[in-house]
Amino acid sequence: MKKIVILISGRGSNMQSILEARLPLEVAAVISNDAAAGGIATAKKHGIVTRVVDHRAHADRAAFDAALGAEIDAFKPDLIVLAGFMRILTTGFVNRYRGRLINIHPSLLPAFTGLHTHRRALEAGVKLHGCSVHFVTPELDHGPIVIQAAVPVLADDSEDTLSARVLAQEHRIYPQAVRWFCEDRLSITPHGTVTLKAVRGADGVLLSPAIDS
């Protein structure tokens, strides 16, 4: 069974969706850069080990990333899951975990990288918005995409209503992406795209779409 470590900075709603999905994996720890993060209490309620690595206690980003990496490595995870972790990671840190570091972003990448995605989607007048799970690379919000979900942008949408509709989809697709990784079904091609191994039934029949238990 594979082990994951989840990194959070706030309430950890995507973390909670992963915990409640009861996936075939071990959540070895939840680590936050903020001792006041609401998600720490949620993790403890689920019986998950929690740690805090406060970025403010370190001289610079590289020093923080080194301390964070040491904490992560103590749990020997197969996958590191960024679930609302609001720190830009150094290239060295990202390369250290390349291929086993994933993130969820509230837009249909490569559109609207960075912050304030819902506001920018409304200002741009797009008709579809959504969220993406991707492998993390040194270029911010540009890693290979695992799965996306799209929602319509309604004429009377505000940032709050659009955000809530997208968040509901985040809670659907992030556990799915984590499951696929832990089932060894994801591969990154030489072209930097992600392929998903198909599921075959016990009799060798190809199932499409895949049926996840």
Task: List Cβ neighbours of 194 (8 Å cut-off, separation of 6 or more).
Answer: 135, 144, 145, 146, 186, 187, 188
105 is catalytic: yes
**HEC-encoded secondary structure of 184-205:** CCEEECCCCCEEECCEECCCCC
Half-sphere exposure of 206 (CA within 13 A, CB side): 3
**Exposure letters 128-142 (e unless 16+ CB within 10 A, then b):** ebbbbbbbbbeeebb
Q: Choose, from 105, 118, 129, 134, the residue flagged as catalytic.
A: 105
Half-sphere exposure of 123 (CA within 13 A, CB side): 6
**HEC-encoded secondary structure of 79-91:** EEEECCCCCCCCH
Q: What is the largest CA-CA distance in the chain?
A: 58
Active site positions, annotated = 105
